[in-house]
């Protein structure tokens, strides 16, 4: 599959908890299985010809989950970043974390810095992991920086246009998503990439994230290819 493959796919990885519950297992088991899916889907996406993959791992709202679940997720991210680093070195993957990193532990920030720095020049799949990410928070952080620069006199209203905003969001330099996939039945955007998804095609599936695989990704891509895209990219 090559022609008509979306350049940038964003995914809301939903349903780990329900997947685990159906098996009589704790939610954290679902997250661990979900992490394995992340690893596989990066490889699949790359092989299919997708250039950019942006995965919603932890939202700014997710802090309100039970403390035990949040700390299990943070531990899982730390472990995954290590795996991701090794894979990125082998597979030439370029990795970036989007979201408010100041809300993450120093240990996580250390792993993120290493991963981002050492993979910055890689030419393979561009993976963006959204951790402590919320689109409203992303836009709020941007507006604050703009207000500070305006107050200092280093920015004037004439400097601000759509390209300026796109170029100052966490996703600066990355094309907008062509396709947004949400797993496990819900059909909401949940504060994900609100600015960037202005012209994005949406695809929903009932499959829970731990069961999502290459075949499901290909189905989503095939559905995308049948869409008549009027705006955004051709």
Q: Nearest to ligand FPP by Cβ — which residue?
A: 17
Measured from the CB atom, the residue of 25 and 198 that comes closer to ligand FPP is 25
Question: The dihedral of CA 77, 78, 81, 82: what is its sign?
Answer: negative
Q: Which of 57, 169, 179, 220 binds ligand FPP (CB under 6 A)?
A: 57
Measured from the CB atom, the residue of 99 and 159 that comes closer to ligand FPP is 99
Q: What is the DSSP letter of 229?
A: -
Which region, left, alpha or beta, applies to residue 202 given φ > 0 means left and ψ of -120 to 50 means alpha?
Answer: beta
Under a CB-based contact definition with an 8 Å cutoff, are residues 220 and 195 in contact?
A: no
Measured from the CB atom, the residue of 62 and 166 that comes closer to ligand FPP is 62
Judged by CB under 6 A, does residue 129 bind ligand FPP? Answer: yes
Which tokens hold the place of 12? 């809301």
Count of residues near ligand FPP by CB under 6 A: 19
Q: Within 144-203, which residues bind ligand FPP (CB under 6 A)?
A: none
Q: Is 109 a catalytic residue?
A: no
Strand order in the sheet with 94-98: 94-98, 126-133, 52-59, 8-12, 179-182, 201-204
Q: Is 14 a catalytic residue?
A: yes
Name the residues that contact ligand FPP, by CB under 6 A. 13-18, 27, 31, 34-35, 38, 57-58, 62, 76-77, 80, 129, 209
Active site residues: 14, 62
């Amino acid at each position: 599959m090559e022609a008509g493959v979306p350049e940038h796919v964003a995914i809301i990885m939903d349903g780990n908890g329900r997947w685990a519950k159906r098996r009589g297992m704790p939610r954290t088991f679902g997250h661990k299985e979900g992490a394995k899916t992340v690893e596989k889907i990066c490889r699949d996406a790359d092989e299919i010809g997708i250039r950019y993959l942006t995965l919603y791992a932890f939202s700014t709202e997710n802090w309100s989950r039970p403390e035990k679940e949040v700390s299990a997720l943070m531990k899982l991210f730390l472990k995954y970043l290590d795996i991701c680093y090794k894979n990125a070195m082998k597979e030439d993957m370029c990795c970036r974390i989007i979201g408010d990193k100041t809300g993450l532990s120093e240990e996580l920030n250390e792993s993120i810095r290493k991963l981002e720095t050492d993979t910055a020049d890689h030419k393979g799949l561009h993976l963006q992991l959204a951790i402590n990410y919320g689109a409203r928070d992303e836009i709020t952080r941007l507006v604050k920086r703009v207000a500070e620069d305006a107050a200092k006199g280093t920015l004037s209203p004439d400097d601000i246009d759509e390209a300026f905003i796109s170029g100052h969001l966490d996703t600066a330099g990355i094309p907008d998503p062509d396709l947004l996939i949400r797993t496990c039945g819900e059909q909401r955007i949940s504060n994900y990439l609100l600015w960037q998804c202005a012209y994005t095609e949406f695809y929903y599936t009932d499959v829970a994230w731990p069961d999502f695989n290459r075949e499901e990704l290909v189905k989503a891509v095939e559905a995308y290819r049948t869409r008549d895209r009027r705006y955004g990219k051709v």
